[in-house]
Every structure is written in C-alpha cells, then in structure tokens.
Structure 1
C-alpha cells in the first residue's frame, strides 16, 4: 500500500516521557517528507504550543489542534474552526464552578482559568504536557468574568480529584447541553468541544482537501483521544505505551515513545515507498 498522509500525535507519541524529541524522530520525519508524504500533527494542545513542536520538526503543515477544533497553519487564517457558543460557555462554566472543579477555557489566542486555591496535584495536571506558549488569565470568579467579556472558545477542560466526580458532571453536561461533546481522559480530566469535533473527523476533512483516500492515511497515537483517527486511517498505529483500549483499535502496535516507537514505525512503513507528489494548499 502507498501512503500519502502521515499524522502524528504529540504527547506520548512524538515526545518522550521527559517531553523531549529524539534526533531519530526528526530524521525519520525528514526521511518520510523526502518521499513526498504530507506529515502533520494532531493534538489536544493549544495551537501556539503545537506550532512550537512543528517548528522543531521543520513542519509547515496544516496542524490539527485543540483535539480537532482548530485546524490551520496560520492562526490568522483558520482552515477549520469549531467553537462552543457563548451561551453554552456561560451555562457550562456555571455548572462546573458550582462543583468546585478547576476549569480552563481554551481560545486559540489565550486561556482563562479559575484561580486554584488548593490541591497542588491538580495544578500540575493542568499544565503538564502543554507548555504555556500563550497567555493565560486566572480569575477567582470565572463565570462572572465571561459574563462581562463573553467568549466562544474551542475547548473547555475541567480537572477533578476523582474519576467519579468527573463522570457525574460529564453526565449532567451531556443532558443539558446537547450541542457539545464531553469526554473523560486520564481519569481526572473532562474535555468539552463542539459536537462532532474530534481528531479523526478533522483528519478526514484534511485528507479530502488533498484528495487523499482513507486507505492512504497513517495515523499514530497513544491516548483515548486518538482512537477515532487510528480507526479512520488506512493504517492505524498505537504506541507501545498506549493503554489497551487504544491498542485494540490499532492495525499495528509500535514500540513505546521512550523506545523510538515513532521513528521505528516510519522507517518500517515507508522504507520501500517511492517518492510521491501531493497537491499544495
């Protein structure tokens, strides 16, 4: 099979556990690009953060960021953007703050968060894996803040002490706000995006733009947020460090992120493939 589009998750996939990129990964990406394959990233990260990683990898591709809600190569000219309405943000934020969880509202240019007064463990969870390459404003009363300055963001994240707490709020939001998707990740983090937004759906739209079929896509990831793009791709690859529920949807399981799993996969999959041509944007 000839593959024309390669999409890679960032955290737990490209990055090692110490959040560094191995030289072997950079070399493998260059190797695949020389064959004419379009290489891009798909991540839950903020666009500015993903752009920093793309620059380190020498990628000028259209990036799938905010878990599929913001797709572009230029923050000034979004190729695809799916926003939560101001009214929904108001209602969801009010519900979340009434349950004393820690909230982050993520716009492509900045983030808003309620001020954390306790629980340093949750503070760490809110920042790890997503370095702050963008402004973040903290406020004691988040709902009051957005009432004064309404916002239509790409994502809302909420962090809980326990999975059960998160599941209770997840159910409440899904019942009251049918136009959003609510997913629980990492046993403590709720992510809210506009309905029908995901990495997989954004990936298919990008492939359609380049006239690339699903069979010609390779998608690599390690988390539950990557499952739909792994399933949609012609070759869905799970990292060796991925949980079992991710691996069961993959066509192939590579080595872990600390064992150069991405570099190994690229060399194995693309070594016999001849150079291709792809239509530019």
Structure 2
C-alpha cells in the first residue's frame, strides 16, 4: 500500500512528556514531507495552538483542530467550521456556572475564561494545562453568562476544568440531558463540549476527501482514547507506546513511546521503502 496522508495527534504523540518536540521527530516529519505525503495534525487543541506546533514543524497544511470542529490552514479561510450556536453557548455556560469550575470558551481567534474562587482565594488565571492558549488573546471575566449577554460568542469548543473527576462527570450528564445536539468528552477533571458529530475521525475524512485521498491511503497516529475512531478508520492505525491499552487494542501497529521517539521510529519502518508520491 502506498500511503499519501499522515495524520498525527499532538499531545502524547508529537510532543514528549516535557511538551517539547524532539529533533528526531522534526527530522521524521521532514522525511515524510520529502516523500510527497500530505501531513496534517489532528488535535483537541485550539487552532492557534496547533498552528504554533505546525510552524515549528514547517507545515503549512490544513489542520484538524478543536477536536475536528475547526479545520483550516488559515484562520480566516476554514475548510470546515462547526460552532456551538450563541444561544446554546449561553445555555451551556448557565449550567456550568452552577458548578465550581473554570470555563473556557475556545474560539478560533480568542479565548474567554471565568475567574474562579477556591478556598477563599481568587484564582484569576486557572490554567487548563498544556493546552492553555497563552499565545492568543485571553479575556478573564467574573461571569461567562454576564459577558455573553453583552458579547454573544459562537465557539467551536468549550472546556471546563473541575476540582474532581466526579464533578466533571456529573456536569457532562446534566449537559447531555439539558442541551441537545452536543457531544461531551470527559478527560479526568476536564470536560470538553463540541457540536454533535464532531470528532478527529470526521476531520480526517474531510481533509482526505478534500485532497482526493481514500482512507485506505491514510496513516493515523494517536495516543489517547479519543483517537480510537481516527486510527481504526485509517488504512494504517498506529498507537503510541505510551497510549492506554484500549487504544493499543484498536491499532494495527504499536510504535515506541513519545519519549522514545515513537513517531520517528514509525516513519522509518513504514515509509522508508515508499517511493515519492504526488498529491
């Protein structure tokens, strides 16, 4: 099989556990590019965050971001943009503000977050971990709902960081019951909300169709449970060595971990005998 497209997740795949790109990974991406293979990133991160990683890899291709809700190479000319309606965004914020959590509305060009009080201390900038979009405008407000009354927003994605996994799960169940046409993803203490039907797998389909590439000609590499659909639909689905057993069981191939240059190892094994292709 000649593979014409490579889709990679970012966290746990391209990035090492220290959130850095290794020289071996950069060289591997350059090697695949020279083979004429189209490379895209498929991530839950916002577009600006993915674009930063793509720039470091010298990629100017279409990126699958916001868990598939925003697909573009240029923020002003998306190939696909699925957003939560302004009214639905307000309803979600109403429900989330009944919980003790930090909320982020993740637009493709900016982010809005609420200030959180915990143990009598104001946490003005409670982060959402390595995905925190510090390199594009972030506005912190006392109340997301009050802000939306004056400034309606339709974001591709909403994130909420809780102080316990149980609270995140409870909020997810309430949202699924009260707000139609959304999907929720619980990752420990973090809850993510996207329009119904949005996924990395669907994003890969959109990009492949746009390029005239069949899914059998796609290699997809992931490291999280949310990558299962993406790797099972690809011609070659690869799980990182550091991924959970559920993902490994769904993969065609398991490479080394992200701290052992798993992407570079996979590239050498899969693409070294492949001749250059034209997209």
TM range (shorter): over 0.9
Tell me how far apart the structure 1 counterparts of residues 124 and 36 of structure 2 sit (CA, whole Å).
43
Q: TM-score, normalised by structure 2?
A: 0.95
Asked if 1:228 corresponds to 2:229, the answer is: yes
Contact 1:46-1:130 within 8 A present in 2 as well = no
Q: TM-score, normalised by structure 1?
A: 0.95
**One of 163, 179, 186 as aligned partner of 2:165:** 163
5+ residue gaps, structure 2, are none
Provide runs of 4+ in structure 1 moved above 6 Å.
119-124
Contact 1:47-1:66 within 8 A present in 2 as well = yes
Tell me how far apart the structure 2 counterparts of residues 126 and 45 of structure 1 sit (CA, whole Å).
11
Report the counterpart of residue 19 of structure 2 in structure 1: 19
Structure-to-structure mapping, 1:89-100, within 5 angstroms? 89-100=89-100
Tell me how far apart the structure 2 counterparts of residues 2 and 86 of structure 1 sit (CA, whole Å).
44
Change (3 A) 1:124 1:235: farther
Out of 125-134 and 174-183, give the one that drifted further: 125-134
Tell me how far apart the structure 1 counterparts of residues 138 and 49 of structure 2 sit (CA, whole Å).
13
Structure-to-structure mapping, 1:1-281, within 5 angstroms? 1-118=1-118, 126-185=128-187, 187-278=188-279
Change (3 A) 1:145 1:129: closer
Contact 1:36-1:275 within 8 A present in 2 as well = yes
CA RMSD of aligned residues (A): 1.7
Tell me how far apart the structure 1 counterparts of residues 102 and 209 of structure 2 sit (CA, whole Å).
38
Tell me how far apart the structure 2 counterparts of residues 131 and 259 of structure 1 sit (CA, whole Å).
27
Q: Any idea what SS the aligned residue of 2:152 has?
A: coil
5+ residue gaps, structure 1, are none
Tell me how far apart the structure 2 counterparts of residues 229 and 14 of structure 1 sit (CA, whole Å).
16
Cα displacement string for residues 24-58 of structure 1 (whole angstroms, at most 9, x for unaligned residues): 11111111111110011111111111111111101
Q: Any idea what SS the aligned residue of 1:98 has?
A: coil
